[in-house]
Structure 1
Amino acid sequence: MGCTASNVNGSNHQKRPSSAKVQPVRSSLRLSNKDTAIQDRRLSNSISSDNEEYLDPNSLTTKDPLLLFRKWFEEAQYSEGVHLATSMTLGTCSKKGIPSSRIVGVKGFDSEGFKIATNKYSRKALDMMEVPHASLMFYWEPMNRMVRIDGPVDLLTEEQAVEIWKSLPRAAQLIHYASDQDKYLSSRQDFIDRRRRLENEFGDSTPIPKNPDWVAFNVRPEKWEFYQVSSDLPDRLLFTKENDATIDGVFCQARTNDWLIFRLSP
């Protein structure tokens, strides 16, 4: 049955009184023996001897969070089992305070920040234009590592967006050019037909111009969190700006340039 207005907001729909108690959900989900064995194996792989190297702020190869991230990122790219090191979770929030998250691919990163590109009418773009702040998370599960990055968002120039567009594979350009992201489609075939028309229009050699609605953003890191499961404990290191008035310097374990480094409880 299709979704109609009456299905969602019909007169038979009754709102639960605000005073009603919320009952906890008792899940009937049970892990199979296979799933339990996988979890046990992952745990034993992540917990090794006390001599295993762990994250120590005073013995890091670099105390620059960007350089440390680059090192981890390059190791993830060459790690067996990490299929797409560029994948990250992008968390945003609307002006009404409604959060949303999705997996996206980072388009590049440098001393200025992390580059993201999307249709300007997508939810993530609208969120970042209304509330210019975002949270990124890279999770490389086979390496037992995670990096979280929080910071303000800037809209990049048209020229910068074009440069990122040119770096995309042609197949990805076709999809982005054909897409009115987040708009409803009558069918899957409708989008396939639209893409085929563009393939015929541009052929194999004509450069595909950037979709006029395709824009790029830059997330400027203000906080970095590096997480690694090593030895018998998860290690969490927080890099935060020295001018952050909310920090407590008593617990600072190292400092470099504009960054203070703290160890967080697992």
Structure 2
Amino acid sequence: MADVAGMRSPYRSTSDTFDLDDLVSKDPFKQFENWFDLARSHPRIEEANAMALATATKDGMPSVRMVLMKGYDHSGFQFFTNHGSRKSSEINENPKCSIMFYWEPLKRSVRIEGKVERMSEEYSTTYFHSRPRTSQLGSTSSQQSTVVESRQCLKDKYEELIEEYKDDDKIIPKPVFWGGYLVKPSSFEFWQGQTNRLHDRLKFRLQKDEEVTDPKLTHVADDGWVIERLLIFFRGGYLVKPSSFEFWQGQTNRLHDRLKFRLQKDEEVTDPKLTHVADDGWVIERLSP
């Protein structure tokens, strides 16, 4: 077993806590805006809008990946992706998700849960054409999450498109398989770490119809939201037994590198051009970005 149990960093001190009196607003979107503005202005946080997006199949198999939040207001949080990707497929069959922002230098995170809906084609097209042309071409050249033979296949397609659209006045059409999604929150959890592990956790949630609450525990906020302080968890050990690994490396042109290890299925017959034998029952595949 890898020896990482002793890896620890100090968080905030007991004189620097986060409680109800420290909220700048009883509106969770405005509270998020306050923390997000601090994160985006912090010199050690490169992408404050990077968020983990967790989805699941209808039968409960989860997956998580990093995406970029591209806008937010009281209607929800926006991100854009390929409609054929794994995340989109899971959203189609189970339109619920969780997103989380973690800003390590601030020792803060925000976890949001809610429903997801697809944004309009008109809105997605407007955003698509606001992106750099290299990013537009990268999205156009890739059928995200499909297995491809090599990186060269992706590069060849990308270079064909560069040649086709070398005239900057020629509009690159938004692919029909690409667009935006909106996460509509039903809860926010604002977390601030404490070195003694008595972390601060304030949760906003939408109050249920006709719900009767204890005013000592549940505090009325704005616009149908309530606030509750959550206990830190009781610690116990869990073991995650992987069935797949995906190694991702970002590229400016959005032709990101994605190599996936997965356990080979019993009696599975694979195409050696796409699926490569690894050690101990694992196989490796390159995924389209």
Give, in angstroms, the shift of residue 254 of structure 1: 4.3
Separation in structure 2 between the aligned mates of residue 63 and residue 128 of structure 1, nearest angstrom = 30
Separation in structure 2 between the aligned mates of residue 247 and residue 135 of structure 1, nearest angstrom = 26
Conservation of the 8 A alpha-carbon contact between 2:193 and 2:199: yes
Identity of aligned residues (%): 35
Structure having the larger proportion of residues in strand: 2
Q: Which amino acid aligns with 2:41?
A: Y
Runs of 4+ residues deviating >4 angstroms: 244-248
Q: Which moved more, 1:160-169 or 1:219-228?
A: 160-169
Conservation of the 8 A alpha-carbon contact between 1:57 and 1:253: no
- Per the alignment, residue 30 of structure 1 pairs with 3
- Per the alignment, residue 262 of structure 1 pairs with 228
Structure 1 residues 247 and 263 mapped into 2: Cα distance closer, same or farther (>3 Å)?
farther
Give, in angstroms, the shift of residue 154 of structure 1: 1.1
- Per the alignment, residue 126 of structure 2 pairs with 163
- Per the alignment, residue 79 of structure 1 pairs with 42
Give, in angstroms, the shift of residue 86 of structure 1: 1.1
Write out aligned runs for 1:184-223 (5 A). Answer: 184-205=147-168, 206-223=170-187
RMSD of aligned Cα (Å):
2.0
SS of the equivalent of 2:54 reads strand
Conservation of the 8 A alpha-carbon contact between 1:58 and 1:253: no
Give, in angstroms, the shift of residue 169 of structure 1: 2.2
Structure 2 residue runs without a partner (length 5+) = 233-289
Q: Which amino acid aligns with 1:120?
A: H
Structure 1 residues 200 and 246 mapped into 2: Cα distance closer, same or farther (>3 Å)?
farther
Structure 1 residue runs without a partner (length 5+) = 1-26
Conservation of the 8 A alpha-carbon contact between 1:57 and 1:254: no
Structure having the larger proportion of residues in helix: 1
Bigger Rg over Cα: 1
Conservation of the 8 A alpha-carbon contact between 2:52 and 2:101: yes
Separation in structure 2 between the aligned mates of residue 230 and residue 214 of structure 1, nearest angstrom = 41
Q: Which amino acid aligns with 1:94?
A: T
- Per the alignment, residue 245 of structure 2 pairs with none
Encode CA deviations 1:15-70: one digit per residue, 9 max, x unaligned: xxxxxxxxxxxx2x224xxx95xx45x31xx242x432x22213411111101111
Conservation of the 8 A alpha-carbon contact between 1:225 and 1:237: yes
Give, in angstroms, the shift of residue 246 of structure 1: 7.7
Separation in structure 2 between the aligned mates of residue 68 and residue 218 of structure 1, nearest angstrom = 19
Give, in angstroms, the shift of residue 235 of structure 1: 0.5
**2:145 paired with 1:182:** yes
- Relative to the length of structure 2, the TM-score reads 0.74
Structure 1 residues 222 and 92 mapped into 2: Cα distance closer, same or farther (>3 Å)?
same
Give, in angstroms, the shift of residue 231 of structure 1: 7.1
Structure 1 residues 148 and 246 mapped into 2: Cα distance closer, same or farther (>3 Å)?
farther
Structure 1 residues 245 and 197 mapped into 2: Cα distance closer, same or farther (>3 Å)?
farther
**2:189 paired with 1:225:** yes
SS of the equivalent of 1:173 reads helix
**2:70 paired with 1:107:** yes
SS of the equivalent of 2:201 reads strand
Conservation of the 8 A alpha-carbon contact between 1:254 and 1:262: no
Separation in structure 2 between the aligned mates of residue 101 and residue 152 of structure 1, nearest angstrom = 16
Q: Which has the higher contact order (CA 8 A, sep 6+)?
A: 1
- Per the alignment, residue 98 of structure 2 pairs with 135
- Per the alignment, residue 242 of structure 1 pairs with 207
Conservation of the 8 A alpha-carbon contact between 2:24 and 2:34: no
Structure 1 residues 101 and 58 mapped into 2: Cα distance closer, same or farther (>3 Å)?
same
Across the two proteins, how many residue pairs are aligned to each other?
A: 229
Structure 1 residues 187 and 265 mapped into 2: Cα distance closer, same or farther (>3 Å)?
same
